[in-house]
Structure 1
Amino acid sequence: MTRKLVAILRGITPDEALDIGAVLLEAGITMIEVPLNSPKPFDSIGRLAKAYGNDALIGAGTVIDPADVERVRDAGGKLVVSPNCDRDVIARTVALSMVSMPGVFTPTECFAAIGAGAKAIKLFPASLAGPDGLKALKAVLPEAVDVYAVGGASASNFSDWLKAGAAGFGIGTALYKPGDTPDAVAAKAREIVAAYDEAAPDSSGE
């Protein structure tokens, strides 16, 4: 089973993408998103998808326009992550047989996303809801829908979030910041994977 960890590479450039992608995969992180407010994001997505698309789920973050869903698909991406719940973005993603992970915060947004076809949702910003907020949401959400905690989840608190019902996590600046070297990202990725495997030993695929 794949670790449910999404690497959020906000600010990455196309020339960095392959080296950073390589160390992430080596550490055991096999879901990668390039936010669309990064430099030349579709170029980075295309390079990552061509090099690692058979071994990892590659795609875009900060997708707020249905037209960009098709651009992600055309670049070779298969993952569409949004900061918000936009039914048109979700529906277009699902129609193209891609993975939709819309951002939600309230029960209304959660069920709107699910109704539009999302099988995974992103609790964002997770830090404001906290594990207690997630636990309350999980009491009413369909069990089959994975909830990823993004913004506030880290190696130090994976266990708390998993106990509250999180299926996985999106990790941004704790994993990659613009200008980070591959060696620096590799070290952080190993730490995050080790913490995840300790908190969720049945999910590591080991």
Structure 2
Amino acid sequence: MTQKNTQALWLNLLEKMPLIAILRGITPEDALDIGHALVEGGISIIEVPLNSPSPFKTIEILSREFGQNAIIGAGTVLTQSEVSSVVSAGGKLAVAPNFNPEVAQQALKAEMLYCPGVATPSEAFSAIEAGATALKLFPAELVTPSVQKAMRAVLPESVNLIPVGGITPHNIPDYLSCGANGFGIGSALYKPGDNKNTVKQNAKKFADSLNMARASM
């Protein structure tokens, strides 16, 4: 898949169901079951944090199974070498809790989507200038809906804002009304040990909340 096609798929998935599953702690053995639960539940952007067990193997499994119609990538990407390892595993997305210009450069060189963590306008503009695909507003407990609204007012409209941290079905409407373009969802969606049915039910709760909020706007 070319960078242009990956970018088009990313934007299409954000428009359809802008939820990013953060599978912290997932193992390669659980990857297919949880991946199918998410895709069947309408979530097709999947992030495997690199502090999970055997993350590159999990990314490889998910990319092989879902990579044509889903965006599979890594979270907690902190170094240039980690970017290269994600690419080798078939990942198309690099998410980080911070902005690092060297990581940004490596991700863009590898034709990956890059979503760094920012919490201030200064960090946001630095990341945009470095070519970030989207901005992870992190932690969302700090970047409240009102703070996000103020940032949205000064940032380019074309830049997607994705709050991460403490996102639940209950606070999605507040963030959405203040300019969020997507949401990263962690333990409220998946925790190690959760089975396929639990994850599918959790995905439905988030999707229902998002769709109701969109309908009321």
- The interval holding the TM-score normalised by the smaller chain is over 0.9
- Specify the alignment match of 1:79 in structure 2: 93
Q: Does 1:103 align with 2:117?
A: yes
- Specify the alignment match of 1:132 in structure 2: 146
Structure 1 portions without partners, runs of 5+: none
- Residue 164 of structure 2, aligned match among 150, 165, 183: 150
- Specify the alignment match of 1:4 in structure 2: 18
Structure 1: 4+ residue segments shifted above 3 A: none
Tell me the TM-score normalized by structure 1. Answer: 0.95
Residues of 2 paired with 1:77 and 1:197: CA distance? 28
- Residue 43 of structure 1, aligned match among 57, 60, 75: 57
- Residue 44 of structure 2, aligned match among 30, 33, 49: 30
Report SS of the residue matched to 1:25. helix
Whether the 8 Å contact between 1:119 and 1:144 is mirrored in structure 2 is no
Residue 178 of structure 1 and its aligned partner are, at CA, apart by 0.8
- Number of residue equivalences: 202
- Specify the alignment match of 2:67 in structure 1: 53
CA RMSD of aligned residues (A): 1.1
Residues of 2 paired with 1:152 and 1:140: CA distance? 24
- Specify the alignment match of 2:29 in structure 1: 15
Q: Structure 1 stretch 151-160 or stretch 23-32: which is displaced more?
A: 151-160
Residue 201 of structure 1 and its aligned partner are, at CA, apart by 4.4
Structure 2 portions without partners, runs of 5+: 1-11
Question: In percent, how many aligned pairs have the same letter?
Answer: 50
Residues of 2 paired with 1:140 and 1:110: CA distance? 10
Residues of 1 paired with 2:214 and 2:71: CA distance? 20
Residues of 2 paired with 1:84 and 1:129: CA distance? 14
Matches within 5 A, 1:110-189: 110-189=124-203
